[in-house]
Structure 1
Amino acid sequence: MTSRMIRGSALGAALFISGAALADDAPKLTELSPNGADACFGRVYDAAHLKAHPHQKVARIFFYHGHDPVSRPNEEPSTMSDTAYNGFLTTTVRGAKKPEWAAGWCNKEDPSDKASGIRCGMECDRTLASLKVDDKGRLILSDLQPDVYLDAGAEEDLGKAKYNEQSLGSEDDNFRLDPMPADTCKAEFARIDPIDPALGAPLRERLKPDQPFCYGRDYDDAHLKSHPDQVTQSIRVFRGPIELASFAAGGDTANWPDGADIAVSVTTRQKEAKVTQTYTCQGEADQWRCSASSKMSDFGCDISQKEIFLKRGAGGTMMLANPNSALAIVDLCSKAAGGKTKSDDKVYRLNPMPQSACTP
């Protein structure tokens, strides 16, 4: 397990438009950009302000509405090159040399209501921020969570001391940001560390529509002893003959990986018998968002809202996030599968394996 899945772009909640929100198709946020151009808001706090607010860690904060100023590699189909985040946040805390960043999709809560607020959602069903513009044109940014740059469940994984060290402070919310030239935000985002080259190509390029794959991990006694709340003993994520045939019959290679089926097999400490669940994926930002499917099994409930998330990891690995009890380590129709994942089975780092290791 790991405490951070990626730097900057956090696992996150909120307002999702079906699929990924399209920057060009989303309701135009004229409150932020009356003329439709990219908009920048920011503030740099002086020493006097920070001294008066000892629990505020953020010394610099910028919010950018528009096209991606970071240009990170993404997992979205090439036919959806205009699909993107439209809200970008970067902050630098006291003493830090470089900022961290997060991004999301910003839309009015009720497009038909001019007075409706703006919410920005992130991956994995988390909230980036709520926005409104005051009568002086300043951006009021609120609902910023202290763990915006951390994985779901980070407080439990890191322990209270490290969590408090890595999260934002109790006064890091309700920021009032001044409008600034777009180039000011672009320069601020340019200070961010480049993507780790060890991550390699996006999964959609690494994994081909007509080729099988197998990733997994078997946890040894030492690992399980050091993670007593972890239920999973072994896990496999794969595409085999069944999944390949399904995509060949109804998928569109131009929109890969949208519509791709994957299978996830797990065994637990309590049950040695392997349980396999099918998921249907779509590319979204820098991840595959995969919803549980009843194609291969019958369920007494709707499991389509059960979602896992796949991301590329360093050195050819794959990261799997399970923030909301969507793996078959529990009965997906039971009360145990309700809400956030309670056990230490939230994030997995999986290694490539021979296809024979993923035989159903």
Structure 2
Amino acid sequence: MTLRTLAAFGAALFAFAGVARAEQPPNLPELSPTGADACFGRVYDAAHLKAHPQQKVARIFFFYGRDPVSRPNEEPAANQDTSYNGFLTTTVRGAKKPEWASGWCNKDDPSDEASGIRCGMECDRTLASLKVDDEGKLILSNVQPDVYLDAGAEEDLGKAKYDEQALGSEDDNFRLDPMPADACKAEFARIDPIDPALGDPLRVRLKPDQPFCYGRDYDDAHLKSHPDQVTQSIRVFRGSIELASFAQGGDAANWPDGADIAVSVTSRQKGAKLTQTYSCQGEADQWRCSASSKMSNFSCDISQKEIFLKRGANGMMMLANPNNAVAIVDLCSKAAEGKTKSDDKVYRLEPMPQSACAP
């Protein structure tokens, strides 16, 4: 499974970094002559889809403006800053929910008024190229098949899985109608409808100045029925070290952005134990946490090693790394070069006493 199939854990490629623009209106008059949020969309009928069998996308919306994804689940604080101004969401045939991605939309050549518009993503990827035609419709082109997948997904997943989860060969050159901004906001709201049964989001349950411990120990019966599972026990926690780090450099007003957590995994292979630190950001309905080396003796580029935390029912916490699984080797060691995967990708964790997460 990937971020695409685990949309609840963030199908998105959303990072909170960049230029301070939260209070600035859009600045591309082609998309928004008045500077207000702009929405374009299209819902394809059965006849169109039958005539285009290689088109997977049944619904597509493009929103230009301020973040339409954040909702009262795990959304960033009201003053959270983001430089993203282009948001794409599509629903493929048979899917119950949309997937989404975001990027920065700017002129290809700022000095040329006739220049086209490119929306870029992290890792020098392209979200889409944009052009408004004479009828005011948005031509959305250069949409990559892996727009909702991680960079390098084809190599990681293999061709068959990649083709299954990527967009189709006819999913490009969309012609979208201008729509009210509320139409796009309603479409993005379909990504993660609020479920009252889940209770408070993690940012409310877990306080900036309080430790926590979640975990699970798997018994012999479970491990026997899951022979490919490497994890024997797992803990996710914030202890004295993580609390001190946030107290020194964190901003409680933007909680959980900048919160450090530790993930400790004990392998069923000779009981080997690994503890890895992650730094988290609030993102839509989850915490997106990147592996961090700031509390270790190592220095390496591990920012792309991510996990996602999400609230579960009855006080549980869900942890997932749907692309690469949770690391069971030190991410800065030679053993981590190349493949660092296990088959352990999604965990249902229960609250535990802090003593259960002691180093």
TM-score range, shorter chain: 0.7 to 0.9
Determine if the alignment matches structure 1 residue 252 to structure 2 residue 246: no
Letter in 2 for 1:343: S
**Which residue number in structure 2 is paired with residue 129 of structure 1?**
127
Give the Cα–Cα distance (whole angstroms) in 2 for the partners of residues 344 and 228 of structure 1: 10
Q: Which stretch of the first structure deviates more once superposed, 106-115 or 251-260? A: 106-115
**Which residue number in structure 2 is paired with residue 241 of structure 1?**
240
Give the Cα–Cα distance (whole angstroms) in 2 for the partners of residues 66 and 53 of structure 1: 31
Shift of 1:238: 0.4
Letter in 2 for 1:308: E
Unaligned runs of 5+ in 1: none
Give the Cα–Cα distance (whole angstroms) in 2 for the partners of residues 338 and 26 of structure 1: 44
**Which residue number in structure 2 is paired with residue 118 of structure 1?**
118
**Which residue number in structure 1 is paired with residue 105 of structure 2?**
107
Pairing 1:52-67 to 2, within 5 Å after superposition: 52-67=51-66
Letter in 2 for 1:310: F
Check 1:196–1:297 CA distance in 2 against 1; reply closer, same or farther (3 A cut).
same
**Which residue number in structure 2 is paired with residue 359 of structure 1?**
358
1:80 is paired with a residue whose SS is coil
Shift of 1:63: 1.7
Percent identity between matched residues is: 66
**Which residue number in structure 2 is paired with residue 330 of structure 1?**
329
For the 8 Å contact 2:20–2:81, the answer to whether it is kept is no
Give the Cα–Cα distance (whole angstroms) in 1 for the partners of residues 133 and 185 of structure 2: 25
**Which residue number in structure 2 is paired with residue 290 of structure 1?**
289
Pairing 1:72-221 to 2, within 5 Å after superposition: 72-75=71-74, 77-78=76-77, 80-81=79-80, 83=82, 86-94=85-93, 100-108=98-106, 115=115, 117-119=117-119, 121=121, 129-136=127-134, 137=136, 138-145=138-145, 148=148, 164=164, 169-186=168-185, 188=187, 194-221=193-220
For the 8 Å contact 2:27–2:35, the answer to whether it is kept is yes
Check 1:110–1:311 CA distance in 2 against 1; reply closer, same or farther (3 A cut).
farther
Cα offsets for 1:245-294 (capped at 9, x unmatched): 33334433223223322221111132414222223333344333333334
Unaligned runs of 5+ in 2: none
Pairing 1:271-286 to 2, within 5 Å after superposition: 271-286=270-285
Check 1:203–1:184 CA distance in 2 against 1; reply closer, same or farther (3 A cut).
closer
Pairing 1:13-32 to 2, within 5 Å after superposition: 13=13, 18=17, 23-24=22-23, 28-32=27-31
**Which residue number in structure 2 is paired with residue 349 of structure 1?**
348
Shift of 1:141: 4.1
For the 8 Å contact 2:13–2:101, the answer to whether it is kept is no
Cα offsets for 1:84-122 (capped at 9, x unmatched): 8644444455567x6524242433497867647533549
**Which residue number in structure 2 is paired with residue 314 of structure 1?**
312
Give the Cα–Cα distance (whole angstroms) in 2 for the partners of residues 135 and 156 of structure 1: 38
**Over aligned residue pairs, what C-alpha RMSD do you find?**
4.3
Shift of 1:214: 0.5
For the 8 Å contact 2:2–2:149, the answer to whether it is kept is no
Cα offsets for 1:63-92 (capped at 9, x unmatched): 222235565225455362465864444445
What TM-score, normalized by structure 1, do the two folds share?
A: 0.76
Shift of 1:302: 1.7
1:205 is paired with a residue whose SS is helix
Check 1:55–1:341 CA distance in 2 against 1; reply closer, same or farther (3 A cut).
farther
For the 8 Å contact 1:142–1:175, the answer to whether it is kept is no
Cα offsets for 1:152-190 (capped at 9, x unmatched): 989999xx79x94x8754433332223334344356557
Give the Cα–Cα distance (whole angstroms) in 2 for the partners of residues 131 and 147 of structure 1: 13
What TM-score, normalized by structure 2, do the two folds share?
A: 0.76
2:347 is paired with a residue whose SS is strand
Shift of 1:207: 0.4
**Which residue number in structure 2 is paired with residue 12 of structure 1?**
12
Give the Cα–Cα distance (whole angstroms) in 1 for the partners of residues 212 and 125 of structure 2: 33
